[in-house]
């Protein structure tokens, strides 16, 4: 049984599956536009969005949790195509765990690389701030790019 299916089978989970939020409420809660939510559904990133008796979309707490994950994956820089692939893997069941694990390990590695790059960028910014604040040359960061080590004021 897939992890999502196992979660759905737990007693309190029925309430999390109950469609209760309008697209406007979900847009407000998630910070995503209504158009983005519709697009996610159209491209298969949202597996199933319930409808009420008038045909309006109704989202569940589980949908909100999924959107939180999708937003986090977007923050990592993961391409939408990869997120769609992940959604397909989830739908396919637990036999896809190894592939999902590999995706998350790669994404984690990519994020750690970005963090290291951002830390180097902060060091350069700190150096430039120190120049403009009139601090001494002794406060230079250990890691410098060629342009900052030449003493240029760019």
Q: What is the 3-state secondary structure (H, E, C) of 54-98?
A: CCCEEECHHHHHHHHHHHHHHHCCCCHHHHHHHHHHHHHCHHHHH
Q: Where are the domains of the chain?
A: 1-77, 93-154
Tens of pLDDT, residues 17-50? 888 899 999 999 999 999 999 999 999 999 788 8
* Sequence-distant (≥ 6) Cβ neighbours of residue 67 within 8 angstroms: 26, 30, 32, 37, 40, 46
* Residues 120-127, mean pLDDT to the nearest whole number: 97
Q: DSSP assignment, residue 143?
A: S
> Between vectors from CA 17 to CA 48 and to CA 65, what angle results, nearest 5°?
80
* Residues 68-80, mean pLDDT to the nearest whole number: 96
Q: State residue 50's pLDDT score.
A: 86
Long-range contacts of 97-105 (CB under 8 A, 24+ apart): 97/3
Contact 91, 47 (CB under 8 A): yes
Going by pLDDT thresholds of 50, 70 and 90, the confidence category of residue 6 is: very low
Q: State residue 8's pLDDT score.
A: 47
Which position has the higher pLDDT, 19 or 98?
A: 98
Structure tokens belonging to residue 152: 């240029």
Q: State residue 12's pLDDT score.
A: 59
Q: State residue 103's pLDDT score.
A: 97
* Residues 2-16, mean pLDDT to the nearest whole number: 57
CATH fit for domain 1-77, picks 1.20.1070.10, 1.10.10.10, 1.10.1660.10, 3.40.50.10360: 1.10.1660.10
Structure tokens belonging to residue 124: 């350069």
């Amino acid at each position: 049984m897939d992890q999502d299916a196992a979660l759905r089978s737990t007693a309190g989970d029925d309430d999390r599956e109950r469609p209760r939020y309008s697209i406007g409420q979900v847009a407000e809660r998630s910070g995503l536009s209504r158009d983005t939510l519709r697009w996610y559904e159209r491209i298969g990133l949202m597996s199933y969005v319930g409808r009420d008796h008038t045909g309006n979309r109704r989202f569940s707490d589980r949908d909100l949790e999924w959107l939180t994950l999708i937003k986090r994956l977007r923050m990592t820089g993961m391409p939408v195509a990869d997120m769609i692939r992940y959604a397909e893997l989830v739908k396919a069941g637990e036999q896809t765990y190894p592939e999902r694990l590999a995706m998350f390990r790669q994404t984690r590695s990519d994020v750690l690389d970005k963090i290291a790059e951002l830390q180097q960028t902060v060091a350069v910014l700190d150096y430039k701030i120190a120049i403009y604040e009139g601090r001494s040359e002794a406060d230079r960061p250990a890691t410098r790019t060629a342009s900052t080590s030449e003493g240029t004021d760019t």
